[in-house]
Structure 1
């Protein structure tokens, strides 16, 4: 017998409510019963009842296999994240059978990186393989568009107004001089020539990614490592990657492999933005050609006044300064509103940025155009 619309509605309510939904009169069987059991193990173990996952790796591994069978990948990743945060299963990730059962995602990578010093030798390669898979997926999604968007921005920023004849961009020149059109002669007087700088004289842009590696920024660290590697692969850019907590570590030498970058980070600890910016400032040799991207929730444990003074000094020298509260798909995190407002007053609004929007942010910075801020703070 075909299920009616009302039957389907009762079925869904029964799955949502769990055992408390038995009053709906809907009895779950087969696949629905298995799905209900998987949900109950995670979400219906609060209060006086105990969670159904237990503490053994085999039992949790079986549950991970069940949810991969019953739910789409995006839901599986969310349930894994909830299981780690609700039931404290992170330590079980140090066991090989657990890593073989999980669905890799950015959040799982963050958890593994926070545990990396505790990962036993027998599990280390499995953990690295999980991280490498997530990094490869992100590169496939983001790399081509980033190179195309920034490559176009770099070409446009290299235009000059006194080009040699063979370097003239005639389309741009005509558009720039349309106001000088002479109808009687049916011609345009090119008062201003527009062209491209010759390749050998093109000036490289310098990008410094300054990444907060406190525990709350895990997803941003993962995406930053991938973008850092992509930017470092572009010959028209000179890219530096700096991570910080209360200390500062320059990971530029690892940029050829974002997996190496991630395993060189140390998630957790305090935050000293001022010290990190001081280091970045010391590496700037051509301010007018430099873009500094600070990715942090702005909870400063260092000297607030000095931090703001450094940002003001960099901007006054001609540095393009970009402040991102997060580089992830999760929206704006908890952040220090007072520091965000202070940066906005300096002309550096702080905002959350998705990975898909990051290439456009960088393209605007390269061309010294207003940033396409999703939401000013």
Structure 2
């Protein structure tokens, strides 16, 4: 057994040295595991580029495309380290195809992974490549809008009324319990299966038209790329609803109000600058200034809760919002799969001051907001 193997602190120290020294140190320091192993695979990819061996040729690096590699760098390393790695990839290893080659960008398949890579490197792009990148962003955003528009907007068409039937046969209105009861007489005696001959759908009661104010406050640090993308799309859908007045605010150590662009998520993403520090208290104070009627206001904070300033100031600001009657929802993630990476200790502290802390996909967030408004 390696000396100190049972000491977690010593194990972390060995992992850091093993990562810094490379695979040749494995006999002395042992193998890498967990995130450290993933970090080594990402760095091995870069070494393959520099040595001419080609992408994916290094052991453990896997067959990654350049956009996937950039996305993984920003996921696995702190922002300052990720920026240095990408800069080195471009300036020292010649990995320029994603930021300098229109042909390479034209061959890339528009998807969320590519979009995240563009957001991480657009500050390095020439005007020609940036124009192509904007087209890719537009393609991905349109697909996300198409996928999310119905599940996000449906909860705001009104709440279901089980006493009223509807001929509007959509999934959101399907009444499963009533359908089963109404079709019990249609059980097939041979197979024992229930035959649905008359599906039933409920009507919806229109929500009150008095507008609510919703402020979506999004952490734009590098690890929050997924959340920034989906927040931009969700805010765009929210802004089209007559019952809501929607603001979109992004922040690092500074606060940028993008509310004027909520209807154009492509423009929002072109203006986002991933990276930098985190000042959540400052962002919440700004959101507080936007509110006209706190008791008809919702503040949605999307962050990993890793506050760069004093935690006390952040928590006091959240508590102040709650005490004023604002509904405060703190999300650890806002992507399509609901993955979350956030400081659970601070999450518990936020819950203690009255904020609601959750992990939600965009459609779940929409349903939650509709419940508050309804």
Q: TM-score range by the shorter chain?
A: 0.5 to 0.7
2:316 to 306, 309, 312: 309
1:207/1:240 contact within 8 Å kept? yes
Helix, strand or coil at the partner of 1:208: strand
Maintained 8 Å contact 1:213/1:245: yes
2:347 paired residue number: 340
Give, in angstroms, the shift of residue 44 of structure 1.
Answer: 12
Alpha carbons 1:232, 1:256 under 8 Å: kept: yes
Give the structure 1 partner of residue 266 of structure 2: 259
Asked whether the 8 Å contact 2:214–2:300 carries over to 1, the reply is: yes
Report deviation, 1:92: 2.4
Contact 2:120/2:274 (8 A) holds in 1: yes
Residues 313 and 122 of structure 1, relative CA distance in 2, 3 Å threshold: same
Q: Note if contact 2:219-2:250 (Cα within 8 Å) is conserved in structure 1.
A: yes
**Structure 1, residues 76-121: CA drift from partner, whole Å, max 9, x if none?**
9988514764796674211211211222222321221222222101
Count of residue pairs brought into register by the alignment: 273
Aligned CA distance change for structure 1 residues 257 and 282 (closer, same or farther; 3 Å): same
> Is the 8 Å Cα contact of residues 68 and 117 (structure 2) preserved in structure 1?
no
Which structure 1 segments of 5+ residues have no match? Answer: 1-42, 64-74, 157-168, 173-194, 368-377
C-alpha displacement of 1:256: 2.0
CA contact (8 A) 2:278 2:308 kept: yes
Q: Distance in 2 between matches of 1:44 and 1:229?
A: 34
1:278 alignment counterpart: 285
Structure 1 pair 83/267, CA: closer, same or farther in 2 (3 Å)? closer
Aligned match of 2:103? 97
Q: Which runs of 5 or more residues in structure 2 are unaligned? A: 1-40, 57-61, 74-84, 90-94, 166-203
Q: What CA distance in whole angstroms lies between the structure 1 residues aligned with 2:52 and 2:282?
A: 42
| Structure 1 residue corresponding to 2:68, chosen from 81, 86, 94 | 81
Three-state SS of the structure 1 residue aligned to 2:136 is helix
What does residue 232 of structure 1 align with?
A: 239
Are residues 353 and 79 of structure 1, via their aligned partners in 2, closer, same or farther at CA, if it must alter by over 3 Å? farther
Residue in 2 aligned with 1:365? 372
Shift of 1:319: 1.1
User: CA deviation digits over 1:158-215, x for unaligned, max 9?
Assistant: xxxxxxxxxxx9969xxxxxxxxxxxxxxxxxxxxxx98997xx41011100000011
- For 1:353, what is the secondary structure of its paired residue? coil
Pairwise CA distance, 1:361: 2.5
| SS in structure 1 at match of 2:362 | coil
- Residue by residue, what CA displacement relative to the aligned partner does 1:242-261 show, whole Å, maximum 9, x if unpaired? 00000001001112211001
The whole-number CA distance in structure 2 between the counterparts of 1:317 and 1:84 is 40
CA distance in 1 between partners of 2:52 and 2:372 (Å): 50
Report the 3-state secondary structure (helix = DSSP H, G, I; strand = E; otherwise coil) of the residue aligned with 1:326: coil
1:310: how far off? 1.6
- Which of 134, 142, 153 is residue 136 of structure 1 equivalent to? 142
Q: 1:354 aligns with which of 331, 341, 361?
A: 361
Most deviating of 288-297 and 84-93: 84-93
Q: What is the TM-score normalised by the length of structure 1? A: 0.64
Larger radius of gyration: 1
Equivalent residue, structure 1, for 2:8 = none
Aligned mates of 1:132, 1:53 — CA distance in 2 = 33
Whole-Å Cα distance in 1 between the matches of residues 336 and 51 of structure 2? Answer: 31
Structure 2 vs 1, CA of residues 362 and 121 (structure 1 numbering), >3 Å: closer, same or farther? same
Alignment partners' CA distance in 1, 2:326 and 2:71: 41
Query: Residues 281-311 of structure 1: CA distance to partner in whole angstroms, max 9, x if unpaired?
Result: 0111101111110000000012321211121
Rounded Cα–Cα distance in structure 2 between residues aligned with 1:83 and 1:250: 27
2:152 is the counterpart of 1:151: no
Root-mean-square deviation (CA), in Å?
Answer: 3.5
- Decide whether the 8 Å contact of 1:135 with 1:258 is kept in 2: yes
Counterpart-to-counterpart distance in 1, 2:221 and 2:229: 12
